[in-house]
Amino acid sequence: MPLTPSTTHAQASAVAGESATRAHRREKKSRLHKDDPRSPLHRTERRWALAFVAAPVLGFLLFTAYPLGYAIYASFTRWNGLGLQVFIGFDNYVQLFNDQYFHKALFNTFFYMIGIPIGLALSLLLALALNRKIPGRTVFRTIYYIPVISSLAAIAILWQWAYNGDFGLVNQVLALFGIDGPNWLASTTWAKPAIIIMAVWKGLGYSMLLYLAAIQSVPRSLYEAASLDGASAFQRFRAITLPMVRPVTFFLVVTNVIGGAQIFTEINIMTPTGGPEFSTASAVWYIWRQAFRYQQMGYATAMAVVLGLLILVITLIQFRLNRRNSFIID
Amino acid sequence: MKKSRLIAGTVAGLLLAATAACSSGGGSGDADTLTYMFRGGDDEKAAYQAAINRFTEDTGVKVNVIVTDADQYGTKLQAAVSGKNVPDVFYVEQGSLQSYVKSGILLDITDKINEAGVDLTNIWEYGVNSYRFDGKVQGTSAGALYALPKDIGPFAMGYNRTMLEKAGIELPDEDEPWGWDHWVSVMKELTTDTDGDGEIDQWGTGLNIAWNSQGFIWSNGADFTDPTHTKVTVDTPEFAEALQFFADLTNVDKVTPNSEQAATLDTYQRFMAGQIAFFPVGPWDMSVYNELDFEYDLMPFPAGSTGKSATWLGSLGIGVSASSKNVDAAVKLAAYLSTDEDAQKTLVDANIQIPNRIDTADAWAAEEPRKPQNRQEFLDIAKDYGRAMPAAFTYNTAWYDEFYTNIQPVLDGNQTAAEYLAEVQPRMQALLDESIVASEQAG
């Protein structure tokens, strides 16, 4: 069930529609028109409208609001995920506040976000390159987009092999340049960068596609005017392209941060024990482990609530910053 | 009007179907159909399917099989439980038995098994007791029975017989364990560069701390907890000595691939490639190892200061859901897979386990021809020197996993075992205390 802002939108317009009908009823009592509340047609259509509105609302209540409320309740209980829930107040929250592994997992999770600006810069460059009329452009676009549509689990396994210390593709390529590569996933220093590289590679195609669309929708007249004024290619990029793709950048940053905060599959497949000395464990990975390996569902839920709040706060800050920096072209 | 009714009906139907889909599926509603959920590799799947087909033939009860990979099993089972859709019969680990019992998910099958006339004295006592729980203590002969052992898994020390013979080394005795010193000296001899390219390509052993260190610790007179499983006892000198010995195999004696080499191609693969002399072998390995192009055999685990071998003896249980609509058939299936002579023969012949029935075990160990030659070692572990994994009978395993989380510096030789153990003991104790509290609060 997709839950988009359209849900609330539909609700709002339904309410508005209703009051309008009421006003309507008061004004035109005499004629039996299809808009008249007493007409059978009006009643049927009204019921239909409500039914259509009800579907997403029910879906939201059933699949989002209820689980969310239940999760908040569960985070105040000691619960093994199977049976009895014992209410223990803020104990779980106190525990996670003192849990060094949770702190480390949170740190790792935010460390991975270094990949977001790197990925955006690279994909913007790629989009600029592939926006030119170069031979084989469609082929390149396709190649960069393939990782996006591939299964994450399969990709994680491939990269796990690629990172293999002795036989891995990555180190073989490095060896061509005379570099003796590390044993990526077994090293406390290199395990996190290894995951970042993979995540950047995986996300490149998607960001590139959005940037391509954004670049192509920049009015040509702006570039022409700038050229007449003697602006160099770099100036045109800095003063026109960059601000014009800002909304896309904002969208990508927000969605990447939200997605990045929930990184799990890569970690769980490439480093099933959380990496050497817990160096790759992400917050969601740790939550999953507490919930399903140690049967600490209540504690895991408390951590999930905290993570959710963190994401919410960060997203709100981003929106605030964006509003301050936004601009409108006449 | 008619048309709109039709659409209304369709929409309503779809909505209903969508909600219904959340609550049904799999299900244990049908009286002569059971669901059986288990995990395993391809060989295991095939062997169990064969055993189940025979069960259906004999009893007329159909069995829906749900099989998962080993690492997904726990998550899937828990999801099935929270969806109130527990399979009738399913695997249960020793370590999660207590939470499943306290949450009322596992059925107490003591009486049903007695009524069915199953002779439990003919099944390994350790296996049966693993699933007995009296509300406080698990693993003793007291308490109600909540599952039957699928098997018991003795983890023996194995060796590449071809390699030892080629090097002219006297083969290990089948009864007298080697001491650590002798074992290490043999391994030093075997750790060489066989093709003369200047790089070592054959090693004495290559052990995994999480699965292979327990035997050394125990045989040195140390243990992870006291017998009541309430106090963590890893900070003893015996424990430190054993862990140091284990780490020194790599750093001082240099008879194993180093940690990077081991991470590159794990030692399991290296053993199968004939690069490693000594490597632990479980019964589930036989189906693969029997196809290798060298001979392997089993030996008593090299012994520390106690002079006695020790190793772990695993087990996985087959439990019955307390909410099963077809309890009798479900218990019958569990008992069939665990104890029936024909079913056991199918599973044992697939080389994935040792016999569950004691009366057939000796014959199996003496069978001709057999591979490995010293099958008896598995039985010796089962009868004599095998022990339960440290976290098998505690409420959860967090305290035990903590032992391994930060152990890498010890294995790399950057921290002494004694230092590490002094540091990790309080953390493990805190987690064990938590799990005891959790257990008490769960019921």
pLDDT tens digits, residue range A191-224? 999 999 999 999 999 999 999 999 999 999 999 9
Residues A68 and A181 in one domain: no
Q: Please answer yes or no on whether B96 and A295 come within 8 Å at the CB atom.
A: yes
CB nearest B99 (choices: A164, A276, A295)? A295
Whether residue A28 lies inside any domain: the answer is yes
CB nearest A165 (choices: B100, B260, B408)? B260
Whether residue A80 lies inside any domain: the answer is no
Banded model confidence at residue B408, pLDDT cuts 50, 70, 90: confident
What share of chain B in percent tops pLDDT 90?
Answer: 66
Residues A52 and A115 in one domain: no
Domains within chain B, CATH numbers bracketed = 29-154+314-387 (3.40.190.10), 156-312+395-441 (3.40.190.10)
Banded model confidence at residue A324, pLDDT cuts 50, 70, 90: confident
Given a cut of 70, whether residue A318 has pLDDT beyond it is yes
Least confident window among A1-10, B131-140, B199-208, B223-232: A1-10
Whether residue A243 lies inside any domain: the answer is yes
Reported as a single tens digit per residue, the pLDDT across A135-193 is 888 898 899 999 999 999 999 999 999 998 778 899 999 999 988 888 888 888 999 99
pLDDT at B20: 40
pLDDT at A4: 43
Q: Please answer yes or no on whether A165 and B99 come within 8 Å at the CB atom.
A: no
Q: B363 vs chain A: nearest CA distance in angstroms?
A: 39
Q: Which residue is closest to B259 within chain A, CA to CA? A: A186
Whether residue A55 lies inside any domain: the answer is yes
Residue B261: list chain A partners with CB under 8 A.
165-166
Q: Please answer yes or no on whether B19 and A44 come within 8 Å at the CB atom.
A: no
Residues A66 and A178 in one domain: no
Q: Please answer yes or no on whether B443 and A44 come within 8 Å at the CB atom.
A: no
Reported as a single tens digit per residue, the pLDDT across A125-148 is 999 998 888 888 889 889 999 999
Reported as a single tens digit per residue, the pLDDT across A274-310 is 888 899 999 999 999 999 888 889 999 999 999 999 9
Residues A204 and A69 in one domain: no
Instruction: Tell me which of B82, B250, B396 to substitute to probe the interface with A (most A C-beta atoms closer than 10 Å).
Output: B396
- Here the tokens at position B358 are 């004691």
Q: Which residue is closest to B406 within chain A, CA to CA? A: A277
Residue A80: list chain B partners with CB under 8 A.
99, 102-103, 438, 442
CATH number at residue A131: 1.10.3720.10
Ranked by mean pLDDT, the top range of B17-26, B218-227, B353-362 is: B218-227
pLDDT at B163: 96
pLDDT at B31: 63
Residues A142 and A19 in one domain: no
HEC string of chain A equals CCCCCHHHHHHHHHHHHHHHHHHHHHHCCCCCCCCCCCCHHHHHHHHHHHHHHHHHHHHHHHHHHHHHHHHHHHCCEEECCCCCEEECCCHHHHHHHHCHHHHHHHHHHHHHHHHHHHHHHHHHHHHHHHHCCCCCHHHHHHHHHHHHHCCHHHHHHHHHHHCCCCCCHHHHHHHHCCCCCCCHHHCCCCHHHHHHHHHHHHHHHHHHHHHHHHHHCCCHHHHHHHHHCCCCHHHHHHHHHHHHCHHHHHHHHHHHHHHHHCCCHHHHHHCCCCCHHHCCCCHHHHHHHHHHCCCCHHHHHHHHHHHHHHHHHHHHHHHHHHHHHCCCCC
Whether residue A104 lies inside any domain: the answer is yes
B108-135 mean pLDDT: 93
Residues A260 and A135 in one domain: yes
Whether residue A205 lies inside any domain: the answer is yes
Whether residue A226 lies inside any domain: the answer is yes
pLDDT at A22: 57
Banded model confidence at residue A79, pLDDT cuts 50, 70, 90: confident
B40-45 mean pLDDT: 84
Given a cut of 50, whether residue B121 has pLDDT beyond it is yes
Number of domains observed in the structure of chain A: 2
Least confident window among A178-182, B70-74, B134-138: B70-74
Given a cut of 90, whether residue A97 has pLDDT beyond it is yes
Reported as a single tens digit per residue, the pLDDT across A7-45 is 444 444 444 445 555 555 555 444 566 667 778 888 888
Whether residue A42 lies inside any domain: the answer is yes
ipTM reported for the complex, 2 dp: 0.71
Residue B403 one-letter amino acid:
F
Residues A61 and A199 in one domain: no
Given a cut of 60, whether residue A236 has pLDDT beyond it is yes
Reported as a single tens digit per residue, the pLDDT across A117-126 is 999 999 999 9
Instruction: Tell me which of A62, A169, A295 to substitute to probe the interface with B (most B C-beta atoms closer than 10 Å).
Output: A295
Residues A118 and A66 in one domain: no
| Boundaries of domain holding A265 | 100-325
Q: How far apart, in Å, are the Cα atoms of B229 and each of B252, B393, B397?
A: 33, 8, 12
Greater confidence (A167 vs A47) lies with A47
Q: Is B259 on the interface with A (CB under 8 A)?
A: yes
Given a cut of 60, whether residue A312 has pLDDT beyond it is yes
Residues A308 and A265 in one domain: yes
| Mean pLDDT (chain B, rounded) | 88
Residues A164 and A203 in one domain: yes
Banded model confidence at residue B14, pLDDT cuts 50, 70, 90: very low
Residues A190 and A318 in one domain: yes
Q: Is B24 on the interface with A (CB under 8 A)?
A: no
Q: Please answer yes or no on whether A186 and B259 come within 8 Å at the CB atom.
A: yes
Residues A196 and A153 in one domain: yes
pLDDT at A155: 93
B369-395 mean pLDDT: 92
